[in-house]
Structure 1
Amino acid sequence: MNLSRETLWLVVGFSGQIAFTGRFVLQWLYSEYKKRSVIPVSFWYLSIIGSALLFAYAIYRQDPVFIAGQAFGSIVYLRNLQLIARSKTLKD
């Protein structure tokens, strides 16, 4: 298959957006299942995947507002995973 550069970058951008949408759907369904508001660890992994893909897309588009927004989000998502890992270590 021979994709143009523009088509490839559209696939990257839409993949990031799908991952971001997927994390909200996951959080909603998991909260419904638990009958309380919860955020599963997979939410943060989807956040990192979506953010990384959208960050790459923003760089390709050379959009400084989009770049700054995605760069900051990744820091928050990684920090949440660190906090989750630390709390599991303390419980063991």
Structure 2
Amino acid sequence: MESLAAVWAAAPGWLMHVLLVDSVWGVWVALFGLLAQAVFMARMLVQWIASERARRSVVPVAFWWLSLGGAAMLFVYGILREDIVIILAQAFGVVVYIRNLALIRAEARGRP
């Protein structure tokens, strides 16, 4: 069985090509970006499952937490990639997700 180091040593060439990066650092940044997108995408799966179970459209609190987590990760990814489009898009989303979580928390505490 090959060691993890041997597999990693062989991987960067093809992996850099697939991920459209030119360094090992770029590979890590791209993998982080893929993880961030997976977290952000998971919110839709959570929302869909909750709605199917309720037989009506439902937005569970987990949707907002996954939205916040995924957007924050994508914001960091945008900074690492120096991509102003991702940075601006996610910065606005983070504000919206935090506000929704604050409204949910206030409602749970019985405040308007």
TM-score (normalised: structure 2): 0.75
Count of aligned pairs between the two proteins: 91
Give the whole-Å Cα distance in 2 for the aligned partners of 1:86 and 1:75. Answer: 16
- Picking from 18, 43, 66, the partner of 1:23 is 43
Runs of 5+ unmatched residues, structure 2: 9-23
- Picking from 71, 77, 80, the partner of 2:97 is 77
Matched with 1:43 is: 63
Give the whole-Å Cα distance in 2 for the aligned partners of 1:14 and 1:35. Answer: 31
Larger Rg: 2
Alignment of 1:61 with 2:78, yes or no, is no
- Picking from 15, 26, 33, the partner of 2:53 is 33
For residue 90 of structure 1, give the secondary structure of its aligned residue in structure 2: coil
Deviation at 1:54, TM superposition (A): 0.6
What is the aligned-residue identity percentage? 42
Deviation at 1:38, TM superposition (A): 0.7
Deviation at 1:12, TM superposition (A): 1.3
Deviation at 1:20, TM superposition (A): 1.4
* Runs of 4+ that moved beyond 6 A: none
TM-score (normalised: structure 1): 0.91
Matched with 1:11 is: 31
Greater RCO between the two (CA within 8 Å, min separation 6)?
1
